[in-house]
Homo-oligomer: A and B are copies of this chain.
Amino acid sequence: MGRHSLEYPKEALNKVKRVYALEQIHSLVNSSPLVHVSLGPSSSSSPFPVTLPMIGQMGSFSRPSASLGDPLDLYLHGHISSRLFTTPSSSSSSSRVPVCVSATHLDGLVLSLSAFNSSYNYRSVVLFGHAAPVTDELEKLYALKLLTDSVVPGRWDAARLPPTRAELQSTAVLRVEIASGSFKARDGETGDDRHDMENEDMRRLVWTGVVPVHQVFGSPVASSYNRVEETPAYIAEYAQEQTRENAEYAVNAIKAQKK
């Protein structure tokens, strides 16, 4: 078993380590169908932060050839009426809203002898950054393609194009410049304290192990007004591939050795 953590790298770090950390962090965000975006309290009248589940993807408009190991921005989109796009500070002169973005994968239920040592296998990223609305039309289209293709790769070009003017106007896109962040994960089997491990009676009584957990993308269900006879391969194969990868990760994570 192991607990792993990585900091979002600063320039000072050596290159191999920096690229590795960026790849881990960016891949986890990009393989998450949903991220949770949090904002601080909106005003003195409400003391509560606000969290919104959204689609988010790492990318680089200024350098579209950038790979996952390069510094990237996070793109988010939503209806212009959404809280994130109407927050007071977004219309102020600075137009930059501090946000926290969280992406979490649950990989297993870890059932140890003691409840205290029980846990989850998981992978989690938290990113801190400043969100600002994207006003450049080409960057907006870049981000909308990026976000649409994150749901099913190739869907942007397969769907009706181009977006209408009304669609573009009612969709807001945010670019989050990342300031810092971290990656945390747990994998491996159960772990227990010595005093429990040495209790042979208890070990014969309490089952210990891991229930792997993963997300399944099931068989596509055509809509009532669909006129395409077969589900296109880019959808059906993507669903199968993602499901297989998710399942393999969850099972392999249990076998991970302590590093």
Rounded to whole angstroms, the CA-CA distance of A38 and B202 in the bound complex is 38
| A239–B209 alpha-carbon span in the complex (Å) | 13
Q: Which of B122, B171, B192 contacts A53 (CB 8 A)?
A: B122
Instruction: Give the interface segment out of A4-12, A56-64, A221-229.
Output: A221-229
Contact stretch, chosen from A15-23, A65-73, A132-140, A153-161 = A153-161
- The complex places the Cα of A250 from the Cα of B243 at a distance, in Å, of 15
Q: A80 within 8 Å of B by Cβ?
A: no
Identify the closest chain B residue to A236 (Cβ): B211
- Whether B36 contacts A36 by the Cβ 8 Å rule is yes
Question: In the complex the two chains form, what is the Cα distance from A58 to B32 in whole Å?
Answer: 26
Interface: A28 (CB within 8 A): no
- Kindly state the interface size class of chain A when it binds its partner: 35 or more
- On whether the beta carbons of A115 and B156 are closer than 8 Å, the reply is yes
Chain copies in the assembled complex: 2
Closest B residue to A51 by CB, please name it. Answer: B102
Chain B nearest CB from A258 CB (Å) reads 12
CA distance A211 to B247 in the complex (A): 17
Q: Is the CB of A102 within 8 A of B235?
A: no
B228–A204 contact, CB under 8 A? yes
Given A50-B126, A207-B226, A228-B205, residue A116 in contact with residue B167 (CB < 8 A): yes
Extra pairs beyond A50-B126, A55-B120, A216-B247 (12, CB < 8 Å) = A33-B120, A40-B40, A40-B48, A49-B99, A111-B159, A115-B155, A116-B167, A118-B151, A190-B223, A207-B220, A208-B226, A218-B250
Listed by A's residue number, 29 A-B pairs whose Cβ atoms lie within 8 Å are A33-B106, A34-B120, A38-B49, A38-B51, A41-B98, A48-B99, A48-B128, A50-B100, A50-B126, A51-B100, A52-B126, A53-B102, A53-B124, A109-B152, A111-B152, A112-B159, A114-B163, A116-B171, A152-B211, A158-B206, A192-B225, A203-B227, A207-B231, A207-B235, A209-B231, A211-B221, A211-B239, A216-B216, A218-B247
